[in-house]
Amino acid sequence: MAIETTYRDALRTAIIEEMERDEDVFVVGEDIGRYEGTFKVTKGLFPKFGSGRVVDTPICEPGFTGIAIGAAMTGLRPIVEMMTMSFSILAIDQIINHAAKIHYMTGGQAKVPLVIRGPGGAAHQLSAQHSHSLEGWYAHVPGLKVVAPATVEDVYGMFKQAVRDDNPVIFTENPGLYGIKGAIPEDKDFTVPFGQARVAREGKDITLVSYSRMVHVCLGAAEALEKEGVSAEVVDVRSLLPLDTATIYGSVRKTHRAMVVYEDWRSGGFGAEIAARIGEDCFDDLDAPVGRVGGLNVPMPYSRILELECTPNEDDVLAAVRKLG
């Protein structure tokens, strides 16, 4: 039987179940204990597991990320919560120069089973310093795995997969998804493998490729296009690194048109990488250039009206598809 829940609660359930399953799993971050986290993902963990496994830290991302890396090298399995993924910038040396490189630089003698998770992308008026979509930065780095689940089932299954993985995983959760509802299985060993995209909606005229919250934007746009006589297929990438190009290419070779939609800044965002690969490897299958819809290349405004203007929506996708022809 499936259990109805929210994205936030599915994530919390996955954390609790993994901590119950393996005593080496612990959580570390700012205000995650007594305060229960800014987005309340860690609600109830502190009284259940205590201060030894739910570790409140000072405001020092390089420090607690470095401690977690060291703990992972000794065989523990830390879960690092970034209050927002924007703050992971402060720990980027630890993440890129150390977590991502240690296994390689030790000739495979050391592993870093580490999950770095938190909200990434625009929320409601968190302004320029708290609204970054950094998954493309991290997907640029060999040695990391980077995932961005869009559904309740995927956030549950992919988080379990992340905790059990022997590599450092960047696990980004769009804050706009925390309240959506869906179902998770009763099987506590249910996992969703990395590197497997899914077709979220079948179609025959154009492929919309996306991940995280933009999958839902694409599904809404696909419904609107259906009323115009355009059948849009929606591919949810799910895992940026490793990236499942086979599923993406299979869809593009069926529809012969592709539009990549991502919340990150349009210039240099991960969607540009997906578009480039489609253009290189599916050139002879395309009946039109690969299109892209991304966020505006500006710091995120505080104004709610301007914030919405800077973030891709269904109308943006519809306009881009119509322009593509």
- At 39-48, the pLDDT tens digits run 999 999 999 9
pTM: 0.96
Homologous superfamily of the 2-185 domain (CATH): Thiamin diphosphate (ThDP)-binding fold, Pyr/PP domains (3.40.50.970)
Query: Rounded distance, CA 187 to CA 2, Å?
Result: 9
Mean pLDDT of 223-242: 98
Structure tokens that stand for 26 in this block = 């612990």
Residue of 122, 124, 127, 118 lying closest to 95 (CA atoms):
118
Single-letter code of the amino acid located at 236: D
Is pLDDT at 149 greater than 80 in this prediction? Answer: yes
pLDDT class for 74, splitting at 50, 70, 90? Answer: very high
Contact of 128 with 182, CB cutoff 8 Å: no
Catalytic residue among 30, 36, 98, 130: 130
pLDDT class for 28, splitting at 50, 70, 90? Answer: very high
Q: For this structure, is 61 an active site residue?
A: yes
Q: Which CATH architecture has domain 198-324?
A: 3-Layer(aba) Sandwich (3.40)
Is pLDDT at 27 greater than 90 in this prediction? Answer: yes
Query: Rounded distance, CA 157 to CA 168, Å?
Result: 17
What pLDDT is stored for residue 178 in this prediction? 97
Contact of 57 with 80, CB cutoff 8 Å: no
Residue of 256, 255, 272 lying closest to 264 (CA atoms):
272
Query: Rounded distance, CA 119 to CA 130, Å?
Result: 9
198-324 has the same fold as 2-185: yes
| H or E element, residue 223 | helix 214-227
The structural domains of the chain, with segments of one domain joined by +, span: 2-185, 198-324
What pLDDT is stored for residue 95 in this prediction? 98
pLDDT class for 124, splitting at 50, 70, 90? Answer: confident
Q: For this structure, is 132 an active site residue?
A: no
Residue of 131, 195, 120 lying closest to 162 (CA atoms):
195
What pLDDT is stored for residue 123 in this prediction? 87
Mean pLDDT of 32-60: 96
Query: Rounded distance, CA 31 to CA 310, Å?
Result: 30
Query: Rounded distance, CA 59 to CA 91, Å?
Result: 11
Pairing mode of beta strands 115-119, 77-81: parallel
Mean pLDDT of 148-174: 98
Mean pLDDT of 37-65: 96
Mean pLDDT of 204-225: 98
What pLDDT is stored for residue 195 in this prediction? 97
Mean pLDDT of the chain: 97
Contact of 289 with 324, CB cutoff 8 Å: yes
Catalytic residue among 17, 30, 36, 61: 61
Give the length of the chain.
Answer: 325
What pLDDT is stored for residue 297 in this prediction? 95
What pLDDT is stored for residue 170 in this prediction? 98
Is pLDDT at 1 greater than 90 in this prediction? Answer: no
